[in-house]
Chain A
Amino acid sequence: MTDTALAPPFGVFVRESAAELRKSLRLPQFALPTIVTPAVFYGLFAVAMNKAGPEAAAYSLAGFGVFAATGPALFGFGAGVAVERDTGLIELKRVSPLPAGAYVTAKLVSAAAMAAIALVLIYALALVGGVRLSASGWAALLAIHLLAVVPFALIGFAVGMRLNAKGAIAAANALYLGFSIVGGLWMPITMLPPWMQHVAWITPSFHLGQMGLWAIGMPSQGSLAAHLASLAAITAAAAWLAISGWRRSPA
């Protein structure tokens, strides 16, 4: 019976994603910090204050690119989901004939788009700082940096389904800074105290940062296989936490 059929899912996914991105861009208090902060940090520490040359700027680029992806993912998902759960918007989406996953997919697409904007700024600064990579090097780096959105978005989602808006914003901030520092996104991991270098293994930021270094032929720790396996495990755990939170939530 055509009456009970849903609207064509692809169109719904596209429109939902566009609406989500529009929402993000119309909230300057969200869009500006998440897009600009990584570029300012990178421009300041890795380009303007850099005395070690383009090599160091390229090394930093691997980590700061991951940092640029964490903001939209943790805040757009973590805080965004918690706020929309508090206001009852998620409830409205749940009783609407929305294809399963459209709400979450739209948030993911929006976070990836915001991350892409932040990445363009950082890559431009890297060029200014003298970083020169092969086309395949840039492509691999971009792929890793965009991939970084996924685990952080799932972690943000899990947080957002469990905490209220205020708690989720606080948690997202703590994770934003914690993952960046412990994961070695701002400074080489080897400069951190040994215990932090151990903790780093359970952060997605560490693995993504090291994969970035590997992609551009810089010295990195561990093997690519180990990073991919760890990242897959962390992502699966975050996905499980997120989905169980979604199922458990009455609203």
Chain B
Amino acid sequence: MSRIDMATVAQLTGVTKKFGSQRVLDGISIDVRAGEVTALLGPNGAGKTTSVGVLCGRLTPDSGEALLFGLDPQRPAARARMGVMLQSAGLPDVLTVTELVTLQSGYYRRPREVDETIALAGLEGLEKRRAGKLSGGQQRRLLYALAICGRPDLLVLDEPTTGLDHEARRRLWATVRDEANSGTAVLLTTHYLDEADALADRIVVIDGGRIVADDSPAGIKASVAGATIRCRTGLGDALLAALPGVRSMSRSGATANLLVADGAATARHLLAADPELGDLTIAAASLEDALANLSASLKEAA
């Protein structure tokens, strides 16, 4: 028996899945909660889409359990409150935007007005256009429209901004944020760090079918590395790497980049060791730094 608290709308518990002899999911547990954007972040082939497939009832787990609103996801009733945007779904070329949105809206009991859905997805003016005549970015937005048309309590977005230009990405982020703020649970997969950082309340980092980290974006940054130090210094690489608190270093020309636990502490050692030190900057580690470091330390451990 699993216990679901009020806020949890979807849950994977210890899910494993093999395709042939390849173990794609190796004990994945994720809670998706109302009003929260959960990002499933990882490289291609990490198991993100498979996790989503199990959660949506498209795939049956080999072991472990998937629950959608407390029900087996394979039951259509469990999917009545969910909207899904798949990574690649070819819509029928010959049907129009309005026809497709109307058809999909009809699957739900209390859908949005078709016009409202079209406006939210940024498809105004394209209502009568056939899906086959839309650009790649417009087709992605149409898939997004189909995902939100039913006023879902859970919105699942598999790589939603792949193929979108910068402007369209920003707009989609804003509407996804609005959905979450109005109480919708959002699960999104992405391999873009900036997307996870900009949108997510929680990031679940997945690699090789396992969860590597599960925390807030700030928490992930803090747990992995505190700060980056950039400076111009004559000190050698070995000396720099040996300074207290340094986790990794790289160098471009005369400029050294250090990933450190505590920016101020290491900076004091640096200044003491090199009186000639110049152009010193200390910044909180970016998510990208954090993940690079996380993967590196995992590989060392392996």
Contacts and interface: CB of A to CB of B under 8 A. Distances in A.
Contact of B69 (A4, A98, A100): A4
Interface in A62-121: 84, 86-89, 91-92, 94-100
A29 B82 CA distance: 36
A98 B78 CA distance: 11
A92 B107 contact: no
A99 B107 CA distance: 8
B103 A7 contact: no
B253 interface: no
B47 to A, nearest CB: 14
A95 B84 contact: yes
Contacts, number: 97
B247 interface: no
A19 B91 CA distance: 12
A127 B58 CA distance: 51
B78 A4 contact: yes
A135 interface: no
A91 B106 contact: no
Interface residues of A, number: 31
A22 B95 CA distance: 8
B57 interface: yes
Interface string A180-205: 00000000000000000000000000
A87 B89 contact: yes
B166 interface: no
- Interface residues of chain A: helix, strand, loop or mixed (majority): helix
A23 B99 CA distance: 11
Contacts of A51: none
Nearest to B83: A96
A4 B59 contact: no
B163 interface: no
Contacts of A87: 88-91
B76 A95 contact: no
Residue with the greatest number of chain B CB neighbours at <10 A, chosen from A6, A16, A100: A6
Interface string A1-41: 01111110001100110010011001100000000000000
Residue with the greatest number of chain B CB neighbours at <10 A, chosen from A2, A92, A99: A92
A7 B106 contact: yes
Contacts of B109: 2-3, 5-7
A3 B94 CA distance: 33
A250 interface: yes
B218 interface: no
Contacts of A23: 92, 94-95
Contacts of A97: 76-77, 79-80, 82, 107-108, 150
A27 B86 contact: no
B103 A15 contact: yes
Contacts of B102: 15
B57 A95 contact: yes
B102 to A, nearest CB: 8
A191 B34 CA distance: 70
11 contacts: A4-B71, A12-B106, A19-B95, A88-B90, A92-B143, A95-B58, A95-B156, A97-B76, A97-B77, A97-B108, A250-B58
> Which 8 A-B residue pairs are closest in the complex by CB-CB distance?
A87-B90, A26-B94, A88-B89, A97-B79, A95-B56, A92-B89, A97-B80, A95-B84
